[in-house]
Amino acid sequence: MAVDAQTVEKLAELARIAISEETVDEVGKRLGNVLHLVDQLQAVHTEGVVPMAHPLDEVQVLRPDEVTETNQRDEFLELAPQSEQGLYLVPKVID
């Protein structure tokens, strides 16, 4: 399945890429090959096949969710020029 030059040029315009006149035919052939491959994949009988997110049945081992640092919020708030009720006060920048 070959893709004609007009279609290649339109796709190049939509993709905002430059394709020289010399390579339009080659790009058309390659796009045709990709479309042929997609047609082959579409023809495969997949009824009854369970969709999967990954071909391996591996499980990601995660570390335990534990607090590793002490709460220093009050110490940090003391360093701020202004704070109120645990929040930093900053000057208004948008009117």
Backbone conformation region of residue 64, classed left if phi is above 0, alpha if psi is from -120 to 50, else beta: beta
pTM listed for this prediction: 0.51
The encoded tokens of residue 10 equal 């339109």
For the segment 6-30, the average pLDDT, to the nearest whole number, is 94
Query: Where do the domains of the chain lie?
Result: 5-43
Q: Which residue has the higher pLDDT, 27 or 56?
A: 27
Dihedral, CA of residue 4, residue 6, residue 12 and residue 18, to nearest 10: 100
Strand ranges inside the chain, DSSP E: 83-84, 87-88
Give per-residue pLDDT as tens, 28-62: 999 999 999 999 999 999 999 888 887 888 888 89
Choose among 33, 31, 34: nearest CA to 17.
Answer: 31
What number does CATH give the domain 5-43?
Answer: 1.10.20
